[in-house]
Amino acid sequence: MGAPAFDADNLPYADGDFYFFEQMLDPKERNRLHEVREWLAQEVRPHAAHWWNVGAFPTELIPRIAELDIVSPVKRLGYSNLFAGLLHAEFTRADTSIATFMGVHDGLFTGSIETLASPEQQAEWLPDIYAMKKIGAFGLTEPLGGSDVAGGTRTTAERSGDGWVLNGAKRWIGNATFSDWVVIFARDVADNQVKGFMVDTSLPGYKATKIENKTALRTVENADIVLENLQISDYYRLTGANSFKDTNKVLRITRLSVAWQAVGQQLAAFDVARRYAVERQQFGRPLASFQLIQQQLVEMLGNTVSSLGMMVRLAQLADDGGARDEQSALAKAFTTARMRETVALGRSILGGNGIVTDYEMAKIFADAEAVYSYEGTYEINTLVTGRAITGIAAFV
């Protein structure tokens, strides 16, 4: 009998979790994560490149995601922040666009209702949100306002009788072309404070136009929103959203989710590059047999593990109620910077095949640029961290 065939996928370190962080989950959480991973492997990853190529979101997937029953895993289902983070990384590992859809609906939108809505509002809205019968979006960024939107929100809200009139524009709003609701943050002209409003997207005065020609997250339907004399009753004002400090309560949580996406991006890049290096033959032997290729793979692994280790510790702090804004900022800055290096190394390993989506790496490489930019740029998060360690603000 000959030697057994070499199975590169059954090596103990084949999945990039080099220090077995996943084993820190309790058995229930670990089994649940494995179930979702298997579902993603069957239902999302095989189709992700096609969705990305055509630039259209597969809305038919939403009821199937709903069947997983994973919206609000910490607050509603009682899972740990570590589980929630690894779950988001797993979605990203399968496809960054689908993970971003979940990050918008489950993180930004659902998080806004859980954090800023009154108990009565939550009781009415959350059941359909959790069941994904109603899909949401989060309207904060504006055409002329990104990093400075905290002090420069141009969208306005004005009292009119027993309601409000909203006017303005929002940009880069994920899910907004097909969502049922969108949380809109607007400046109250009476007191100049940023407040939150639950807007039904079927109302007159709401218009969402899909942003075309993107080179990242092409499956996500980001939109330009125009609000023109849109009228809503006072009941749809989020009672806990009375200043940008309240808005930041949501962003503090979702910034962690984006850092977990950076982990998922690196796991995906490592998956593809390692498999390609083992299977691809060059000069009569596997690409992985060359020293420089092994060095690149190890650099990718080191970036991934260091990012994962930081996020595991931050999840522990969040579970203990001690995670701070500046720690989230450092995590988002650090993990996305490492992600950029990792996906570039992975693209290099694939050579020419690294620039076509057939081999997945081109999509992973391109999507990383969006993750690097949203939920606070690298520069802003660096300055937030710098302020924490010096006591001096380097920005207004």
Query: What does the pLDDT average to over 114-120?
Result: 96
pLDDT at residue 305, rounded to an integer: 97
Residue 312 and residue 201 in one domain: no
Q: What is the pLDDT of residue 2?
A: 46
Answer yes or no: is pLDDT of 3 > 60: no
Whole-structure pTM value: 0.93
| Cα atoms in the Cβ-side hemisphere of radius 13 Å centred on 261 | 30
Per-residue pLDDT at 10? 75
229: left (phi over 0), alpha (psi -120 to 50) or beta: left
In this structure, the answer to whether residues 140 and 253 fall within a common structural domain is no
221 and 126 housed in the same domain: no
User: Does 144 share its domain with 112?
Assistant: no
Has residue 2 been placed in a domain? no
Residue 395 domain-assigned (yes or no): no
Q: Tokens representing 263?
A: 């982990």
Write out pLDDT tens, residues 141-157.
999 866 666 667 899 99
Residue type, 359: Y
pLDDT tens per residue across span 376-396: 889 989 999 999 999 999 986
Q: Are residues 238 and 298 in the same domain?
A: no
pLDDT surpasses 70 at 357: yes
> Is the domain of 237 the same as that of 255?
no
332 & 300 share domain: yes
| Position 15 confidence tier, pLDDT thresholds 50, 70, 90 | confident
DSSP, res 9:
G
156 vs 77: CA distance, rounded Å: 36
Tens digit of each residue's pLDDT (9 = 90 or more) over 276-314:
999 999 999 999 999 999 999 999 999 999 999 999 999
Query: What are the helix (H) ranges across the chain?
Result: 27-43, 45-54, 62-66, 81-94, 96-102, 110-116, 119-130, 149-152, 244-279, 291-319, 325-349, 361-373, 378-390
What letter does residue 155 receive in the DSSP assignment?
-
Last residue of a domain, one of 211, 242, 273: 242
Average pLDDT of the residues of the chain: 93
- DSSP helix/strand/coil, 71: coil
Residue 255 has a pLDDT of 79
pLDDT at 1: 44
The answer as to whether 275 is a domain residue is yes
- Cα(282)–Cα(121) distance, integer angstroms: 61
* pLDDT digits 0-9 by tens, 246-287: 888 888 777 788 899 999 999 999 999 999 999 999 999 999
DSSP codes of every residue in 296-342: HHHHHHHHHHHHHHHHHHHHHHHHTT---HHHHHHHHHHHHHHHHHH
Convert the pLDDT of each residue in 64-106 to its tens digit. Answer: 999 999 999 999 999 999 999 999 999 999 999 999 999 999 9
At residue 253, the pLDDT reads 76
Q: What single DSSP character describes residue 196?
A: E
Number of domains making up the chain: 3
- Picking from 379, 311, 150, the residue whose alpha carbon sits closest to that of residue 387 is 379
Q: Give the pLDDT confidence score for residue 377 in this predicted structure.
A: 87
Say which DSSP state 187 is in. Answer: E
C-beta of residue 169 within 8 angstroms of C-beta of residue 225: yes
Please identify which residue in the block is written with the tokens 């609701």.
181
Same domain as 283, residue 216: no
Domain contains 140:
yes
96 and 176 inside one domain: no
Per-residue CA distances from 60 to 57, 235, 276, 321 (Å):
9, 32, 31, 37
**Residue of higher predicted confidence among 204 and 325:** 204
3-state secondary structure of 136: strand
Give the bridge partners for 197, in sequence order: 184, 237
Residue 225 sits in which domain range? 136-242
Question: Residue 353 maps to which CATH number?
Answer: 1.20.140.10
Q: Are residues 280 and 359 in the same domain?
A: yes
Confirm whether 211 is domain-assigned.
Answer: yes
Last residue of a domain, one of 218, 242, 266: 242
The pLDDT of residue 250 is 85
Average pLDDT over residues 38-48: 97
Same domain for 188 and 226? Answer: yes
Do both 190 and 87 map to the same domain? Answer: no
Which among 95, 130, 165 is the end of a domain?
130
Tokens for 333, please give them: 């800055």
C-alpha distances in Å from residue 368, one per residue of 47, 80, 150? 19, 26, 25
